[in-house]
Amino acid sequence: MIALVTRLIAAIGRRVALWGALALGLLIALRVAARRGRHAAEADFAIRAAEARVRALQTSKDIRHEVQITDRADLERRADRWMRD
């Protein structure tokens, strides 16, 4: 009788250990996936921010160049029109 109870408890203990190991493995896999996803999202955000900065600098450079090559009368006319609007 004691051998039967011991065998039953050992079987239940192995089953619990198996399910615990599977649950732990699943939790670790989810954590790794979430961490990789977060790092990928941060890298994507950094790339998009850098591209936006490059576009802003290029636009600024183009506008500055346009203002420098435009004659004074045209600049004054544009400023007057901008102030009216």
Mean pLDDT of the chain: 89
Pair 75, 67: CB distance under 8 Å: yes
Distances (CA, A) of 22 to 27, 32, 67, 69: 9, 15, 67, 70
Q: What is the mean pLDDT of residues 5-25?
A: 80
Using one digit for the tens of pLDDT, what is the confidence trace for 19-57? 888 999 999 999 999 999 999 999 999 999 999 999 999
Domain span including residue 78: 2-84
For 64-74, what is each residue's pLDDT tens digit?
999 899 889 88
**Quick check: helix, strand or coil at residue 59?**
helix
Burial class (CB in 10 A: 0-12, 13-18, 19+), 46: exposed
| pLDDT recorded at residue 85 | 63
Split into its structural domains, the chain has a count of 1
